Every structure is written in structure tokens, then in C-alpha cells.
Amino acid sequence: MNVNPLSQPATPPATASVATTAASTSATSTTATSKTAAANPAAPPPPSTTVSISNAARSALAEATESAATTAKEAGGGDMQAQRLLAKEAANKIG
């Protein structure tokens, strides 16, 4: 027999029995946790993650974070990327 749960009349929640069950479950899980910790006192720490950054990424980061004075100095020395950046910034100031 198929029963549609929406067609059934709503029943009030049984809060007293849920609270009793939750309390007993909590006590059980606390006991289980303390037994596990006592059985394995020298648990290894979680593994660490090491990230390496490529030289291209380091160069891109250095270009993105350099000061305006450094960019101007590089542009004066013939750096094409710095010259384009200065031209772009000048165009943004005008327009």
C-alpha cells in the first residue's frame, strides 16, 4: 500500500522521548571517544600541504605588486611591459 506522507495527519513531536534518547546517545558517544583517545595516545598530526610556486608565477606576482616608481624606472630603462602599463594608466586618467 502506497501512503502519501502529505496526506497523513500531522502528529505533535515527542520531545520528551527525543531528549531522553539524545542524552543517552551523548553519554555513549563521549564514552566511546574517551576510550579511543586512551587506546591511541600518540596519534600522528594531520599531514601538512606544501605548495610550490613556479618562476613564471613569481614574476607575475612581482609585476602586479610593484610600485608606480618601480614601473616608471623600468619603463625609462626600456621595459616594454612597463611602458605599456604606463600608457594604459595615462589613458585611464584622461578617459
**Counts of helices then strands in the chain (DSSP H, E):** 4, 0
The closest alpha carbon to 69, from 56, 85, 80, belongs to 85
Domain ranges of the chain: 67-95
pLDDT per residue, tens digit, the chain (95 aa), is 555 555 555 555 555 444 444 444 444 445 555 555 555 668 888 889 999 999 999 999 998 899 989 999 999 999 999 999 999 999 999 87
Is residue 71 within 8 A of residue 85, CB to CB? The reply is: yes
As a whole number of Å, the CA-based R_g of the chain is: 33
Predicted TM-score (pTM) of the model is 0.41
